[in-house]
């Protein structure tokens, strides 16, 4: 009975009421779910779709081909070679160690590489190709292909890698590339995503570094669909990048090769500039090094050998090295004196071998003195006393002003690293930098290019070019980028009177072409090619009064690093100048004996565009010159890479 009653009882009504309540709440919650769905999908839908695309699509970079670097005749000096590397995919290889052991019999794989590869396999997903070895030879590659069935998962890939076909010749100019380092990332402040690619190569020194942005090019991109673990499902699209710009240098590969060969064995630098447009046609710094070793990763013994070499092979001495210019500075003093009217070309000064200034005695290099001497002869014989007198008359400020006009003490803009400004001292400079007053002795020392004066071989060559032309020739190393020639306006005049310039040029001519000139024996015999030069021998040590009394120790008897620097600057042909040359042989000895012959050989090579005829040399020297030339390790013409087809 109770069961029957129940269905009409109070409980039934209450059940229905509470059911309405409960399911009302459920309906309410479902409305909440519906509105949430609406919010996520319709209101916020765009945002989430974007996030979904980001999830799904990866952007891969396609590294652009690095721009090539050519010499002035479009012969490549830095190119991209195919780099064969072997990669392995774990999921295809199966037993990684077994396959690696087999691979080891074909390609050299030391324990470190082996362990690194195994570690990389563990770290990466099974389908990611891991590079096992790079820079394989064609033979090794062929052997891997032949043994392919025994090497599951192993395949060869081709990449591009920098190669410098001329080796050490252009090491100091072009520099080299290397994998981007943490230090580089900090230094560059470059947002280019290419730099994030592991082992991406960027310029580390020289033109490679200074023109990095232009040479690198723009990355292409490949949009790929990936799944949650990163496996590539398909390529969606691809945007090609822009290869780096090709760079044409002003340097002549053959002259550069000659310069490097001629300087070999010494710690020396030589610069050849085209006086008419400032083109640097050769920029040699010896000893040099093989930049290719840096590209593939230099071994630490090799690197230590370079670092420990007292001749500093890694330094580009042409722009980084600064030396007291010695007597090559005398033209600046002479020009300052002539331009200010402190002297004229006819006036003579008496040289008795020294002058006394207060308690101090300043010596001429010739102890017996030159007697009565005029401007031309003061240059020809490099009389020091004449310039002591001149310097006292014009003062250091005028000399400094003149030196700056000729490009000394200035950091010239070239795409090379560590370009030194050198130093042209003034009274103000000494007060602020050293905190001492300028003394008259400082002026005297400066007059003969000693004391504080410092100049780089590049500056000396530039100074010579400016003397030869009377114009503010600016150095240029890049002839064109991406086919667009770099600016090359006709240099403006320095504003120095023709008479003064001619007087100095005449003195320089006498140095090389008149009997008694300090470089007379290093003259050019060919009349149309005669050069005007100036020797310089700069002390790196102080000669004490005691030593002078006992007789100055000869250079040959001193340790290498205390010997004098040998310098020589010259331009030629005298009548219609084309090239200016500066040679510095570190601790070489006398400029006349050690720097001048190098400068003459280089000058002739430049003037003749190759091996000069023997008649260019004085008759008595021809046999010796011929024999010496045979000893030079010059590159054979057929060993140069083919020039770029300009058509």
Partner 1 sequence: MSYLVHNLKTVPTGWRKLLYLNWPLILLVTAVACFGFLMLYSVAGGNFQTWAEPQVKRFAIGFALMMVVAFIPIWFWRNVAGLAYFISLMLLIGVEFFGQVGMGAQRWIDLGFMRLQPSELMKIALVMALAAYYDWLDDERVSRPFWVLLPLLLILVPMLLVLKQPDLGTALLLAIGGGAIMFLAGVSLWYFLAAFLSGGGLVAAVLFSRGTSWQLLKDYQYKRIDTFLDPSSDPLGAGYHITQSKIALGSGGWSGRGFMQGTQSRLNFSPEKQTDFIFTTLAEELGFVGGMTLMVLYALIILFCLTSAFGNRDRFGSLLTLGIATTFFLFFAVNMSMVMGMAPVVGVPLPLVSYGGTAMLVLLIGFGLVQSAHVHRPRRAG
Catalytic site positions: 327
Task: Identify which range of 42-50, 73-81, 148-156, 532-540 contacts partner 1 by CB under 8 A.
Answer: 42-50
Does position 126 interact with partner 1 (CB under 8 A)? The reply is no
Closest CA to 258 of 629, 647, 646, 641: 629
Q: Which residue has the tokens 């102080």?
A: 542
- For partner 1 (CB under 8 A), the number of binding residues is 47
Task: Pick between residue 41 and residue 493 the one whose CB is nearest to partner 1.
Answer: 41
Task: List the one residue out of 279, 247, 282 whose CA is nearest residue 488.
Answer: 279
Residues 6+ apart with CB under 8 A from 238: 62, 220, 221, 222, 223
Region 372-431 residues binding partner 1, contact defined as CB under 8 A: none
> What is the DSSP code (8-state) at residue 592?
I
Q: Are 480 and 279 in contact (CB under 8 A)?
A: no
Non-local (6+) Cβ contacts of 422 within 8 A are 322, 408, 409, 410, 454, 455, 456, 459
Taking the C-alpha atoms of residue 405 and residue 408, their distance in angstroms, rounded to an integer, is: 7
Stretch that binds partner 1, among 227-235, 353-361, 406-414, 594-602 (CB under 8 A): 227-235
| Angstrom distance (rounded) from CA 519 to CA 570 | 11
3 near partner 1, judged by CB under 8 A: yes
- Contacts (CB under 8 A) with partner 1, residues 54-93: 55-56
**SS3 of 405-448:** HCCCCCCCCCCCCCCCCCECCCHHHHHHHHCCCCCHHHHHHHHC
Q: Answer yes or no whether residue 12 interacts with partner 1 by CB under 8 A.
A: yes
Q: Does 34 bind partner 1 (CB under 8 A)?
A: yes
- Report in angstroms how near the CB of residue 41 gets to partner 1 at its nearest: 4
* Contact window for partner 1 (CB under 8 A) among 16-24, 464-472, 587-595, 617-625: 16-24
Choose, by CB under 8 A, the member of 139, 229, 549, 647 that binds partner 1. 229
Give the residue with the Cβ less far from partner 1, 25 or 65. 25
Integer angstrom CA distances of residue 383 from 345, 395, 406, 503, 623: 15, 18, 22, 16, 33
**What x-and-dash track marks residues 327-346 binding partner 1 by CB under 8 A?**
--------------------
Q: Build a one-symbol-per-residue string for 231-250: x at contacts with partner 1 by CB under 8 A, - elsewhere.
A: --x-----------------
- Contact (CB, 8 A) for 87 and 130: yes
Quick one: which segment of 22-30, 215-223, 514-522, 543-551 binds partner 1 (CB under 8 A)? 22-30
Binding flag, residue 28, partner 1 (CB under 8 A): no
**Residue of the chain from 19, 142, 434, 632 that contacts partner 1 (CB under 8 A):** 19
Among 42, 549, 619, 647, binds partner 1 (CB under 8 A): 42
Residue 51 engages partner 1 in binding (rule: CB under 8 A) = yes
Q: Which of 137, 196, 227, 493 binds partner 1 (CB under 8 A)?
A: 227
Does residue 127 bind partner 1 (CB under 8 A)?
A: no
27 touches partner 1 (CB under 8 A): yes
Here the tokens at position 462 are: 């530039």
Q: How far is CA 597 from CA 53, 263, 452, 632, in A?
A: 71, 11, 27, 14
| Spatial separation of the C-alpha atoms in residues 596 and 585, rounded to whole Å | 10
Pick between residue 43 and residue 307 the one whose CB is nearest to partner 1. 43
Identify which range of 44-52, 161-169, 556-564, 619-627 contacts partner 1 by CB under 8 A.
Answer: 44-52
What are phi and psi for residue 603, nearest 5 degrees?
-60, -45
28, burial (CB in 10 Å: exposed 0-12, middle 13-18, buried 19+):
exposed
Q: How far apart are CA 116 and CA 621, in angstroms?
A: 61
The least distance separating partner 1 from the CB of residue 58, rounded to whole angstroms, comes to: 11
Q: Which of 226, 357, 421, 472 binds partner 1 (CB under 8 A)?
A: 226
Stretch that binds partner 1, among 28-36, 161-169, 393-401, 539-547 (CB under 8 A): 28-36
Structure-block tokens of residue 576: 């219609």
Structure token digits, residue 184? 């580089």
Q: Which is nearer to partner 1, 31 or 65 (CB)?
A: 31
Q: How far is the CB of 94 from partner 1 (least distance, A)?
A: 24
Q: Per CB under 8 A, does 560 bind partner 1? A: no
State the residues that interact with partner 1 by CB under 8 A. Answer: 1, 3-4, 6-12, 14-16, 18-19, 21-23, 26-27, 29-30, 33-34, 36-38, 40-42, 44-49, 51-53, 55-56, 225-229, 233
């Amino acid at each position: 009975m109770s069961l029957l009653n129940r269905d009409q009882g109070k409980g039934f009504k209450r059940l229905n009421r509470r059911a309405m309540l409960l399911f009302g709440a459920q309906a309410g919650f479902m409305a909440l779910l519906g509105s949430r769905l609406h919010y996520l999908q319709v209101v916020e839908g765009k945002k989430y779709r974007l996030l979904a695309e980001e999830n799904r699509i990866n952007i891969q970079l396609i590294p652009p081909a690095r721009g090539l670097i050519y010499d002035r005749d479009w012969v490549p000096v830095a190119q991209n070679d195919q780099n064969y590397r072997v990669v392995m995919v774990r999921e295809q290889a199966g037993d990684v160690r077994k396959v690696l052991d087999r691979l080891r019999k074909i390609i050299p794989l030391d324990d470190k590489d082996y362990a690194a590869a195994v570690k990389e396999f563990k770290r990466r997903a099974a389908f990611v190709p891991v590079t096992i070895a790079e820079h394989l030879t064609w033979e090794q590659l062929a052997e891997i292909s032949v043994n392919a069935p025994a090497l599951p998962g192993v395949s060869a890939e081709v990449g591009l890698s920098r190669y410098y076909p001329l080796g050490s010749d252009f090491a100091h100019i072009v520099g080299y590339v290397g994998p981007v380092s943490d230090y580089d990332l900090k230094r560059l402040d470059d947002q280019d995503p290419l730099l994030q690619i592991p082992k991406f190569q960027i310029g580390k020194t020289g033109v490679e570094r200074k023109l990095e942005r232009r040479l690198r090019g723009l990355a292409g991109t490949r949009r790929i669909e990936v799944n949650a673990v990163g496996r590539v499902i398909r390529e969606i699209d691809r945007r090609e990048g822009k290869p780096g710009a090709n760079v044409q240098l002003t340097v002549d590969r053959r002259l550069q090769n000659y310069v490097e060969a001629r300087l070999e064995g010494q710690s020396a630098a030589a610069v050849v500039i085209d006086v008419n447009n400032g083109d640097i046609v050769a920029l040699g710094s010896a000893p040099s090094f093989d930049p290719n070793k840096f590209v593939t990763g230099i071994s630490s013994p090799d690197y230590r050998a370079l670092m420990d070499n007292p001749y500093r092979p890694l330094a580009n001495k042409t722009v980084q090295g600064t030396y007291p210019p010695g007597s090559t500075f005398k033209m600046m003093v002479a020009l300052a004196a002539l331009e200010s009217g402190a002297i004229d070309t006819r006036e003579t000064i008496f040289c008795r071998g020294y002058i006394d200034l207060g308690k101090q005695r300043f010596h001429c290099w010739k102890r017996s003195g030159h007697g009565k001497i005029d401007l031309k002869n003061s240059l020809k014989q490099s009389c020091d006393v004449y310039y002591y007198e001149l310097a006292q008359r014009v003062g250091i400020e005028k000399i400094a002003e003149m030196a700056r006009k000729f490009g000394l003490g200035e950091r010239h803009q070239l795409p090379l690293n560590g370009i030194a400004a050198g130093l042209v001292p003034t009274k103000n400079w000494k007060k602020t930098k050293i905190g001492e007053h300028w003394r008259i002795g400082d002026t005297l020392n400066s007059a003969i290019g000693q004391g504080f004066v410092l100049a780089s071989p590049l500056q000396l060559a530039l100074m010579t070019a400016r003397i030869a032309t009377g114009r503010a020739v600016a150095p240029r190393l890049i002839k064109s980028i991406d086919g667009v020639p770099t600016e090359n306006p006709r240099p403006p005049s320095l504003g120095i009177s023709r008479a003064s310039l001619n007087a100095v040029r005449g003195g320089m001519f006498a140095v090389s072409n008149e009997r008694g000139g300090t470089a007379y024996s290093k003259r050019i015999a060919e009349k149309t090619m005669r050069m005007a030069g100036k020797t310089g021998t700069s002390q790196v040590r102080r000669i004490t009064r005691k030593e002078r009394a006992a007789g100055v120790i000869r250079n040959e008897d001193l340790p290498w690093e205390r010997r004098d620097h040998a310098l020589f600057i010259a331009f030629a042909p005298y009548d219609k100048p084309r090239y200016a040359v500066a040679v510095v042989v570190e601790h070489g000895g006398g400029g006349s004996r050690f720097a001048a012959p190098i400068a003459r050989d280089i000058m002739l090579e430049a003037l003749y565009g190759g091996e000069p005829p023997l008649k260019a040399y004085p008759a008595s020297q021809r046999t010796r010159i011929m024999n010496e030339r045979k000893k030079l390790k010059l590159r054979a013409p057929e060993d140069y890479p083919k020039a770029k087809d300009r058509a």
